[in-house]
Amino acid sequence: MAGSCAAEGLVQDKKKRQRVVKPVGGGAREHEISADVEAATRRGLAYLARNQSKDGFWTGDVGFKVNASYRITHENSAHPGITGLALMAFLACGEVPGKGRYGAAVDRAVDYLLRCTEENGFIWNNGTRMYSHAFATLALAEVYGMSTRKDVRTALERSVNLIADSQNSEGGWRYKPFAQESDMSITVCQVMALRAARNSGIHVPRNVIDDAVKYVRLSARALGEQSHWRRFRSRRYGLFNTGVFKYQMRPDARASFALTAAGVTTLYGAGIYQDPLLERGLNFMSAHFQEYNDNFQQHYFFYYGNYYAVQAFYIAGGNRWAHYRRKITAFLLSGQSSEGSWTCPTGPGKNFATSVSVLILGIPFQYLPIFQR
């Protein structure tokens, strides 16, 4: 039944495909778009525009997570993942290719991502991996939904095929294409990229989504289950092993707020809107997001976790969304610098933090189909 629901959800989404950007606040509730939020997103976009390379990319520290730290492999380098997120930030605030104040910046970012696309569809540069591939694919899918550029469609089709072909026997994805293992944090990125591509008219095999749903379900903790994974504690980072969804399917895998947000968002992205796991995940997130934000403020965990939490809460709507929105908005508004950026001392850097922060604040604008209820 789960696979059937997932497939039906994606079929229904085809009817919602859009090639026209909504007007400011289109469909959004007015109280969700305050003057302070609009001003903060404008300052964030201005910062990003000033820091875009003339070749279209945004820089960041390429690397990977090691427990709660971040190991840098290429410092301050052209970064397709961050470029994809920055491009999404502009699109989420109503900027479109080739038009308006930032139309040229949008076009440059698109062209950079196209140059990073290999013949086999892999989008990468400077050693970036499947995280970046998925964020870049998601951005290109949203761009293609607003245009008819054949080069974008060609790259998008190749990228989607790579994602589909790289899905392993577990139903998930890992850091590199065609890996045998998988994890929740990579899987959610791929599913959301596939969802956006499907919305824009690109073929996505049904079995790929169905298998991803099975993977997510098997990555959920059973009620009362306790992990034997060694807990990571420190004065700053607090408890690192609570949550509904686990990093991997194995019994001793850790769980967390961010992974739970990823699990909930993956199910929503697959077209599943009624499920006990969604309720469990949302209830856990509602109870723990303040603790998570307090423990991980300015850490890349904060930005990554809330990038998915805002999507989960927004789709859920109701009191959960209203409460989360008030808290995360106040948190982000208080953390924006005078230059318009947000900081991220641990992780990919300020361009990453600023792009994600603008996206979080801009979701209620409802400009992008992927962020619409």
pLDDT in tens, 4-17: 334 434 434 434 33
pLDDT tens digit string along 43-77?
Answer: 999 999 999 999 999 999 999 998 889 999 999 99
Residue 288, Ramachandran bin (φ over 0: left; ψ between -120 and 50: alpha; else beta): alpha
* Whether the Cβ atoms of residue 364 and residue 325 lie closer than 8 Å to each other: yes
* Whether the Cβ atoms of residue 118 and residue 72 lie closer than 8 Å to each other: no
Q: Terminus-to-terminus CA distance in the chain, angstroms? A: 23
Residue ranges per structural domain of the chain? 2-371
pLDDT score recorded for residue 348: 97
Q: Across the chain, which distance is largest between two alpha carbons, in Å?
A: 54
Torsions phi, psi for 45 (to 5 deg)? -65, -40
What single DSSP character describes residue 271? T
Cα-Cα-Cα-Cα dihedral sign, residues 353, 354, 357, 363: negative
pLDDT score recorded for residue 122: 98
pLDDT score recorded for residue 241: 65
Tell me the residue type at 157.
E
What is the mean pLDDT, run by run of 10 residues, along the chain of 373 residues? 38 38 40 86 98 98 92 97 98 95 98 98 98 98 94 98 98 97 97 97 97 97 63 47 88 91 97 96 95 92 97 96 96 97 96 98 92 82
Annotation: CATH topology of 2-371: Glycosyltransferase (1.50.10)
